[in-house]
Amino acid sequence: MDVTISPSRVEGRARAPPSKSYTHRAILAAGYGGDATVRTPLVSADTRATMRFVDASGGETTLAEDESSLTVSGFDGRPETPEDVVNCENSGTTMRLVTACAALGDGLTVLTGDDSLRSRPQGPLLDAVESLDARGESTRGNGQAPLVLGGGMTGGSVSIPGDVSSQYISALLMAGAVTEEGIDVELETELKSAPYVDITLELLEEYGVDAEQTDEGFSVAGGQSYDPEGGEYEVPGDFSSISYLLAAGATAGAEGESVVVEGARPSAQGDAAIIDIVREMGSDVEWDRDAGELTVSRADLSGTTVDVGDTPDLLPTIAVLGAVADGDTVIENCEHVRYKETDRVSAMAEELEKMGASVTEETDRLTVHGGETDLTGATVDGRHDHRIVMSLALAGLVADGETTVTGAEHVDVSFPNFFETLESLGTSVRRDE
């Protein structure tokens, strides 16, 4: 599907979807346990992949008709052997989190995904699984899916790099809680995207599992059970998705009006940093933490420097803010952002250049020269990546002329009603199936 955005001014109230990161972990945590209900889950292509793994591994997930809750009957610690290959589609979070889970099984589980997912690195996590006396192999011997896992991982100590994906650590901590020995994780390098491990630790606590950060890395004791208080867990709003709504208000807000974003409840999400970034660039943002509401209005933005080592998903949003701002916006420490659904550093550089932006791309840095940029409508490629699609749509709000984003259906990964939400705020959106 292609979507065409016309220059628009936005105002009103909108609700961000629930957190994808928390939803993945909540579903799998419930799978590790007995019976639990996940309230206000994000139901998307990615999170359905995690549901599919739980179902294939001896659990059962049942989604309410209105999708407001998900009931999970878990597999009580040890997954069964799936009857068939488990397809994680495009969900890197699913594949990495369930890799360690699948290694707990006595039989063998095969995980695969789409072309993009089969090109993403899994090698360090496979090596960790092997060092914990389980089987973890890439069928092509290149550290990429399809993956073969099993052998009844029992726990122990493992070392792993922290600068490839924090999801490796999250996967080991979640699995380690149900092993006999527990798992101690020693980091070989500095941890990037650290707030995502904080999310895991927060969620584990909500499910009654003790895990902690240590001087060397992280540790989780074995022999624990997943059992949330009252048998329920409620997913908070997603700050990665909130970033697009905040950016829309800051760059395209109607004169004298505001955009109010609902669902912004405080949590361990590192992407809440978008609030301070937008403020630093010059927009007035008010956060009512008790109500979970953010209020933002349009302002003349100025360039800034942002380190995205811990917040890789914000890079596309910040790049668009930089294109609108006066002066340079420098996005640093971003090499790991190249290993997402697509190389998001190159993708944003190349697609914004099609719209007239002046951009300098380096290996671990992206500089957007806002003072040399006048955005013009163009046809841009969403790169089969939900975050690229949504960010380019934001650029279309303030470009001169219409902007057509191809592959726009990929917003279903994290923000299924993204374009309906933009329309509710006053954006002109045309869909071409």
Active site residues: 313
Residue with tokens 């190159």, as numbered in its chain: 346
Whether 242 contacts 266, CB under 8 Å = no
Report the 10 Å Cβ neighbour count for 80: 14
Of the candidates 227, 172, 181, 228, which has an alpha carbon nearest to the alpha carbon of residue 200?
Answer: 172
Annotated binding site for 3-phosphoshikimate: 20-21, 25, 165-167, 193, 313, 340
CA distance linking residue 183 with residue 174, whole number of Å = 10
Looking at residue 400, what DSSP letter applies? B
Q: What is the 3-state secondary structure (H, E, C) of 246-292?
A: HHHHHHHECCCCCEEEECCCCCCCHHHHHHHHHHHCCCCEEEECCCC
Place of tokens 């590192």: 270
Of all helices (H) and strands (E), which one includes residue 49?
Answer: helix 45-56
Q: Helix, strand or coil for residue 226?
A: coil
Residue positions in the annotated binding site for phosphoenolpyruvate?
20, 92, 120, 167, 344, 387
CB 94 within 8 A of CB 88: yes
Three-class DSSP category at 301:
coil
Compute φ and ψ for 369, nearest 5 degrees.
-90, 85
The three-point CA angle 355-359-360 to 5° equals 155
Q: 361 — phi, psi (to 5°)?
A: -105, 130
Radius of gyration of the chain (CA): 21
Instruction: State how far the alpha carbon of 52 is from the alpha carbons of 27, 86, 342, in Å.
Output: 10, 8, 23
Helix (H) or strand (E) holding 176: helix 166-176
d(CA 88, CA 134): 21
Closest CA to 407 of 426, 390, 382, 386: 382
Binding residues: 20-21, 25, 92, 120, 165-167, 193, 313, 340, 344, 387
